[in-house]
Amino acid sequence: MLSSSPTPDTGTSSGPRVDSTTQLHRLTTESQNEASQGFDTKSALEIARIINQEDSKIAGAVKKALPEVAQVIDQVARSLRDGGRLIYVGAGSSGRIAALDSSECPPTYSTAPGQVQYIMAGGPKALASAVEVNEDSEELGQRDIARRRPTRKDVVVGISASGRTPYVVAAVAYARARGAHTAAVTCNHNTPLSEAADITIVAEVGPEVVSGSTRMKASTAQKMILNMITTGAMTRLGYVYENLMVNVHMQNSKLVERGIRILMRACSIDRETAVHTIKSAGRSVPVALVMLKAKVDKPEAVRRLAKSDGNVRLAIEDTVLEL
């Protein structure tokens, strides 16, 4: 389970209010970076070197948060297995990173569109156009998450580099008050978003090369973390076999070819056998893999996958998924 914090007030504010007058210079992500002093006087190569040097610090910052990332991975896996959802909430660059991660889960792991969702301040139009004014509204954050009707089966993850975006804080607090498991992904310690969530993943990447431009290091760290959460959860659910993307949804020629090659590698078979088996399995790589590995027919492979909640390895072994 996620670590516990005091339940937020469920009154009209549904959680801690964010003081919009908070001085940004106190946030690490808003501080000036000494390494990029005189940045506007540098050559193109010098600019690239400075950015590259700062980017090299990101993985180390994320590494410090791995225990918290692991907790969220397990909670997301449990929730998805039990029919719940992973719902990201973000604004600006953070919201766009959330949208990217959620939209890539169906083609990669054949998840249903509703299993991994995103809520973006300003709505879908904000993905391509700046609608930053919406991120200051707690009311809009509460309204947008309320429309998804979060329950105790769900995991709601708020993403904010500063950790103080009112829209995101209010949405997470609202979801938590209604029993959802909640997490925060931020790049600053001791923030309102941390107070609103059950657990906080902090990747303290330090000041940006261009002060306050959190689409750079902060967003890169957030992308890495969201990759870990969904990849880790899907792997725990058994949608990855060894290190192969066996739950791939074969909707175009590239993905069909990928499915064939996955089966060839996993089962050490030739292309002709792989193509024939995938056709026999109804164009399902998991069914084909179980058929070949367990030496069973299609109905038995389907039965085993249903018994294991889609976990390919457990279906091959004919055992039950436990998380």
Report whether 175 contacts 151 (CB < 8 A): no
Torsion of CA 137, 140, 146, 152, to 10 degrees: -30
Q: Does the annotation count 46 as an active-site position?
A: no
Helices 285-294 and 253-267, axial angle in degrees (round to 10):
20
The active-site residue, picked from 135, 138, 195, 208, is: 135
Which of the 8 DSSP states describes residue 141?
Answer: H
Sheet holding 155-159, edge to edge: 116-120, 86-90, 155-159, 181-186, 199-202
Structure tokens at 188: 């600053």
In whole angstroms, how far apart are CA 302 and each of 116, 247, 310, 323? Answer: 24, 14, 9, 21
Nearest residue to 14 via CA among 190, 153, 202, 141: 141
Give the separation between CA 33 and CA 28, rounded to whole angstroms: 10
Q: Is 135 known to be catalytic? A: yes
> Are 193 and 163 spatial neighbours (Cβ–Cβ below 8 Å)?
yes
Pairing of strands 86-90, 155-159: parallel
Q: How far apart are CA 292 and CA 279, in angstroms?
A: 13
The Cα–Cα gap between 207 and 215 comes to 12
Please list the residues that pair with 157 across neighbouring strands.
88, 183
Task: List, as one string, the DSSP characters of 109-139.
Answer: H---TTTEEEEETT-GGGGTS--GGGGG-HH
Give the DSSP H/E element, type plus range, for residue 182: strand 181-186
Residues annotated as catalytic are 104, 135
